[in-house]
Chain A
Amino acid sequence: MKILVCISKTPDTTSKIAFKNNNAQFEDAGVQWIINPYDEWYTLVKAIELKEKDPSVILHLITVGGADCDAIIRKALALGGDEAIRVDTESDDSYVIASQIAAVAKEGNYDLIFTGKETIDYNGSAIGGMLAAKLQVPYLSLATQFELNGSEAKVTREIEGGEEVDAVTLPAVISCQKGMAEQRIPNMRGIMAARTKPLKVVPPVAIEALTHIVAYELPPAKAGVKLVPADDVATLVKLLHEEAKVI
């Protein structure tokens, strides 16, 4: 069983969001980078659990990005996994990222590919579905539970208005969210071990981007809160009915 886990880096969840170069680029000065929470807490930890159950599982991590991703991928390796692959290119186009991962995945013949539900910076929710289409394998999105039985998997996933349990024959691509696993903190042994685990840097395949971010915008500032005294809820109801027109 070979598993590939997709890892992306994002600004820490408390980062100030600001832009530079005429709003064309994210202002990364002073920003602390973390592993995308979905990739770390739910996706990677689930894969590690599968390996703990069956030590013959081969677990690889992949990230597409520049050398500034190395610290993040080492941090991921400190949680678990046998080796990491970094495809040495940067892009803000999901199609390019998915194509890079697909090229590595094809060569590695993985049985299972895990992605996070979405990145908390670009909010694409796209890479998993694109990968599945590129590899022509089933895609199970928004998984909350996952059980492996040989080459069969049982996946519980969020669908509109509820959940669905699906059976699938591997290979498959699964996007993971809350429920899959519990957050773990890397321990000293893991951190030491990660230093000697292989991190392969591979060149990108040639793919033309289909989308380009031209600028960023910040939402207009809120007008400020209107406070209503606690003993006058009738006024709040009136405001919601007549001013905001939401009830």
Chain B
Amino acid sequence: MSVLIFIDQSEGHLKKASFEAAAYGAAVAKQMNTNALALVLGNVADGLTQLGNYGISKVYQIQKDIFNHVDAQVFATVITNVVKQVDASIVIFSHTQTGKAVAPGVAVQLKAGLVTGACALPQNDNGFVVKKTVFSGKAFALVNITSPIKVITLNPNSFGIQMITENATVEALEVTVPNATIQVVATNKVSGEVPLSEADIVVSGGRGLKGPENWGMIEDLAHVLHAATACSRPVADAHWRPHHEHVGQTGVQIAPNLYIAIGISGAIQHLAGVNRSKTIVVINKDPEAPFFKAADYGIVGDAFEVVPKLTAAIKEMQSK
């Protein structure tokens, strides 16, 4: 009857979104008067006992080299076996690339109802109702899970973490691991830059920037803010910027704390990828640009003048 939270790792480091999933799972466990257990697959040396700070009482770890890469079928089968072994009734993932790949398989193997993209704690006064984003952030659905076991993936940046000072115990688990179903030929991690899906701050440019040669000022602003860079679809389609930076309905959907949109008109398809951001700043020379309706703060002005000044002003604030 416990809550099991899957903790994602990459090259031995726990992923940021997993801490939020841990805190969320611990809050769910508290609601139900039960324990929050975590599962880590792979070789992680540090940070496991500190999961206690997020409310986890026990961390199960299975160290096998096969977990260096996410093979969806293998992960789903192993996690399913652990759920059965520890008798968990709620399984939590982050709604990240890994969670999206693995959680549906776990749900099927356990014949458990699945809600992806959850953004609030379950309401359990009348069933087990989880709120999730639908219509690409334009609405929410309240979904009742009626199966005995329930699987949830949590939208990153949607649950406020409250840290406590506790240590979790770590226990190695032995389970049989199935054979790999895919063979990894190459990995290509974007190094140095902040990955878009994990960034707290995102600086984004649109067609208003006229050409790829003008992205220096976007990168400078991103650099002082430790932000990731993004762009609108026409910008990626014109190969001014790489495809993985394209945000929106048909690109990446993000929910950072701060989204700065520069020279982007704010078409509904663009907003669908960014409207879950906590704070939106728009810089556009056209006061009628639709993006201002979705913004918290705005400057009507020429990006080529405003952005370098903004970068300088932030540097000045940081130096104080």
Contact = CB atoms under 8 A, between A and B. Distances in A.
B34 interface: no
16 contacts: A13-B268, A13-B272, A14-B269, A120-B272, A123-B136, A126-B107, A137-B73, A164-B187, A166-B182, A211-B147, A213-B144, A226-B298, A227-B300, A234-B313, A241-B317, A246-B201
B136 A120 contact: yes
Nearest to B109: A133
Given A133-B104, A214-B142, A166 B184 contact: yes
Contacts of B135: 11, 17, 120-121, 123
A98 B66 CA distance: 28
Interface string B118-131: 00000000010101
B73 A225 contact: no
A230 B305 contact: yes
Contacts of B241: none
Interface stretch (B44-52, B161-169, B244-252): B244-252
Contacts of B8: 160
B10 A140 contact: no
A114 interface: no
B78 to A, nearest CB: 13
A124 interface: yes
Interface stretch (B23-31, B57-65, B93-101): B93-101
Contacts of A163: 187-188, 244
Nearest to A162: B189
A178 to B, nearest CB: 6
B170 interface: no
A147 to B, nearest CB: 11
A129 interface: yes
Interface in A18-47: 19, 37-38, 41
Contact of A142 (B97, B137, B143): B97
Given A120-B135, A142-B97, A213-B143, A246 B257 contact: yes
A244 B181 contact: no
A217 interface: yes
A203 interface: no
B281 interface: yes
Nearest to B233: A178
Tell me if B's interface is mostly helix, strand, loop or mixed: mixed
- For B73, B144, B243, B316, the residue with the greatest tally of chain A CB atoms inside 10 Å of its CB is B73
B187 A159 contact: yes
B249 A13 contact: yes
Interface residues of B, number: 99
Interface string B295-320: 11111111001100110011011000
B166 to A, nearest CB: 27
Contacts of B1: none
B301 to A, nearest CB: 3
Interface in A142-192: 142, 144, 154, 158-168, 178-179
B102 A129 contact: yes
A239 interface: yes
A125 B117 CA distance: 9
Nearest to B181: A138
Interface residues of A, number: 78
Contacts of B133: 123
B30 to A, nearest CB: 23
B173 to A, nearest CB: 22
Contacts of B144: 211-214
B41 interface: no
Interface in B208-262: 225, 243-244, 246, 249-251, 257-258
A136 B72 CA distance: 11
Nearest to A134: B108
Query: Which 7 pairs between the two chains have the least Cβ-Cβ distance?
Result: A129-B104, A230-B301, A210-B113, A162-B189, A133-B108, A138-B181, A133-B105
Nearest to B15: A160
Given A126-B116, A129-B100, A132-B105, A164 B184 contact: yes
B190 A161 contact: yes
Contact of A168 (B145, B182, B197): B182
A202 interface: no
A161 B189 contact: yes
A141 interface: yes
A53 interface: no
B262 to A, nearest CB: 13
Given A17-B138, A161-B190, A162-B187, A128 B104 contact: yes
Nearest to B226: A247
A213 B249 CA distance: 22
B279 A141 contact: no
Contacts of B138: 17, 218-219
Residue among A134, A144, A164, A247 having the largest count of chain B Cβ atoms under 10 Å: A247
Contacts of B105: 129-130, 132-133, 139
Nearest to A120: B136
A217 B142 contact: yes
A109 to B, nearest CB: 19
